Amino acid sequence: MIKCRSPFILMMSVPAFIMISCVSGPGRLQRVSEKYEVAEWSGIPVTMTKYGRVEGFPDKENTWVWRGIPYAGPPVGPLRWKPPVEPEPWAGTLKAKRFGPMGVQYRPIGKNRITGSEDCLYLNVWRPQTGETGLPVYVWIYGGGNTTGSGDYTKEYYGYHLARQSNAVFVSINYRIGPFGWFTHPALRAQAQNDLEASGNFGTLDIIHSLKWVRDNIRAFGGNPDNVTVAGESTGGINILSLIISPVAQGLFHKAIIRSGGFVMSSVEDGDASAEAVLMKLLSKKIKDEEEAASLREAMDDREVADFFYSLPAREIQSFYEPWHFGMTDMPTLFKDGTVIPESGARTLGHGTYPSKVPVMIGSNTDEIKLFMYWDKQLRKNENRYAAVTGYGSGMWKVNGVDSIARQMTKHRDQPPVYAYLFNWGSLDENGESVFPGKKGFFFGASHALEIPFFMGSGAGSPVLGLFFLTGKNKPGASSLTEAVMAYQTSFLWNGHTRDVPDALPGWPAWTNNPGSPKFMILDAGFKERKLTMSSDDYTEKSVLEYLESTYGPDITAEALAYIEEEGINFESVE
């Protein structure tokens, strides 16, 4: 997800065990003090984790699903801005029927209503209804600007398609978001007992803790803890990049899929300033006099400030962050604290000091920012300007979110293969035509998040695509493209490369920095058949600008650059 001031950009075999009780949620289960021995998968949906027995249920495409398994204790009360802790073991059987609560956030549509719970650290597991063990594990990290979303936010995130088609164990997680996931202030750091408590990166630590749960428990579901792939889109991809450079996440995953991501991080100083502004708003609301609030703030010591923050209801804190489109808020996240995330941030890639050198699949969509720019009615009135703005913004997303990252990673000899792609389905071709009906190819094209159904396996069966973009005419091509994407991705999940695919699919070589060598796969389809080609292009800011000027002329290009600068669109450079 691009970090931006604009509302348009802030979108998108069971061990013997005496059953004491059998209820529907861990909050109602009898707690016990001792952990359990993790069971090996036996082919039935009742299995034993480290923390207790869980029962799964049949789901679509011949899969089992376990919903709402706690992977950490509730981060409430004194644990609000603390690293996650292990969940308490329970007696009896957790009937994992319902998804766990999402984190505190604004609803995506309608009035600015706040929903969710601080008690949100739950995950979900899908797997095929077979007795196979040692399956690769796919851990899904959702997007949403780190201020909205959940593992079940949309049915596109449900894992039964991928679990069945890739013969894998699919895990989706919830984690703390917004001011509960990323929050730092000198007063809180003064009370911290260790560097993790002081980091402010609690959402990141939640994701890391979920990976520890996977390492320790996934055998109970037939997964291989030594073959874990983290995958995410938009801010989910950004979070995965933070995991790659984080020393705290080392060894917890073995491959990474980064879709429409990039480095968007914040300084601790930015976090402090944001938290102090919220503190003043909160004090002013309580006292209803700005001068008295300022005087009170000046008299408060660190302990009093920390106690004040902890005393406030979660929804009151959330209410002081102004929601924009889709319920997202603009606030600093992913702090370069020097413990969870290196102070060097994105440049850690260039230094080669990042600890998780794993095989990577990384890419973006041809028309990323059209999803956001479309809502600017004034911009849409001038089609040349709209095309230039979206062309530049989407091109620079690829520059900073894909190509520059691939270049920096692959210059290190100990970096495994990096496979890059450009998702192009729906974009205008060289004749200005699209497989989408009407003007949808021009105004949306291969926009942000459009690739999700193809990588999740729903493809032409996607309800979202069906509502807006699929037609009887273009469905065959979409189905063919989905089959190809899933074949490449399945090979990557199992083996860390893209070579184990049907002979009918072209080879997808890894990125190399050699001039003129293949760089990325273009994932596209016509009305009936997929179109897969390798490109040797290497996107840079210079090449993007040269294309704009040759296509639209210097005046329109200048207008596009001014618009982008005004909107505050930026990534943190890795070079």
410, 352 Cβ separation under 8 angstroms: no
d(CA 547, CA 476): 32
* pLDDT score of 16: 28
DSSP label of 143: -
364 plus 347 within the same structural domain: no
Q: Let me know if residue 573 belongs to a domain.
A: no
347 plus 365 within the same structural domain: no
* Domain finish residue from 343, 358, 373: 358
pLDDT tens for 420-452 read: 999 999 999 999 999 999 999 999 999 999 999
Question: Residue 286 sits in which domain range?
Answer: 1-358
417 plus 344 within the same structural domain: no
445 plus 498 within the same structural domain: yes
351 plus 367 within the same structural domain: no
d(CA 573, CA 570): 9
Give me 351's structure tokens.
């230094």
36 plus 19 within the same structural domain: yes
pTM score: 0.95
* Domain finish residue from 305, 328, 358: 358
d(CA 348, CA 435): 41
* Domain finish residue from 330, 358, 386: 358
Residue with tokens 């530049």: 392
Which secondary structure element, helix H or strand E, spans residue 93, and what is its range? strand 93-95
* Helix residue spans in 312-427 (DSSP H): 314-318, 348-351, 370-373, 377-381, 383-398, 404-410
537, 519 Cβ separation under 8 angstroms: yes
**Residue 21 sits in a domain of what CATH number?**
3.40.50.1820
241 plus 164 within the same structural domain: yes
344 plus 399 within the same structural domain: no
Which secondary structure element, helix H or strand E, spans residue 140, and what is its range? strand 135-141
Q: Let me know if residue 477 belongs to a domain.
A: yes
168 plus 253 within the same structural domain: yes
Name, in order, each residue with C-beta under 8 angstroms of 447's C-beta and a sequence gap of 6 or more.
365, 367, 368, 369, 370, 371, 374, 426
Q: Let me know if residue 190 belongs to a domain.
A: yes
338 plus 424 within the same structural domain: no
pLDDT in tens, the chain (575 residues): 333 433 333 333 333 222 223 333 455 688 898 999 999 999 999 999 999 999 999 999 999 999 999 999 999 999 999 999 999 999 999 999 999 999 999 988 767 699 999 999 999 999 999 999 999 999 999 999 999 999 999 999 999 999 999 999 999 999 999 999 999 999 999 999 999 999 999 999 999 999 999 999 999 999 999 999 999 999 999 999 999 999 999 999 999 999 999 999 999 999 999 999 999 999 998 888 889 999 999 999 999 999 999 999 999 999 999 887 777 899 999 999 999 999 999 999 999 999 999 999 999 999 999 999 999 999 999 999 999 999 999 999 999 999 999 999 999 999 999 999 999 999 999 999 999 999 999 999 999 999 999 999 999 999 989 999 999 999 999 999 999 999 999 999 999 999 999 999 999 999 999 999 999 999 999 999 999 999 999 999 999 999 999 999 999 999 999 988 887 767 888 98
* pLDDT score of 573: 86
Q: Let me know if residue 476 belongs to a domain.
A: yes
257 plus 212 within the same structural domain: yes
Q: Let me know if residue 166 belongs to a domain.
A: yes
Q: Let me know if residue 401 belongs to a domain.
A: yes
532, 502 Cβ separation under 8 angstroms: no
Q: Where are the beta strands (DSSP E) in 197-278?
A: 223-233, 255-259
Q: Let me know if residue 446 belongs to a domain.
A: yes
497 plus 540 within the same structural domain: yes
Q: What are phi and psi of 317, to 5 degrees?
A: -65, -45
Give me 63's structure tokens.
């899969």
d(CA 69, CA 124): 6
pLDDT tens for 84-109 read: 999 999 999 999 999 999 999 998 87
Give me 269's structure tokens.
């100083």
Q: Let me know if residue 574 belongs to a domain.
A: no
DSSP label of 402: I
**Residue of 164, 575, 195, 281 lying closest to 403 (CA atoms):** 575
How many separate domains does the chain show? Answer: 2
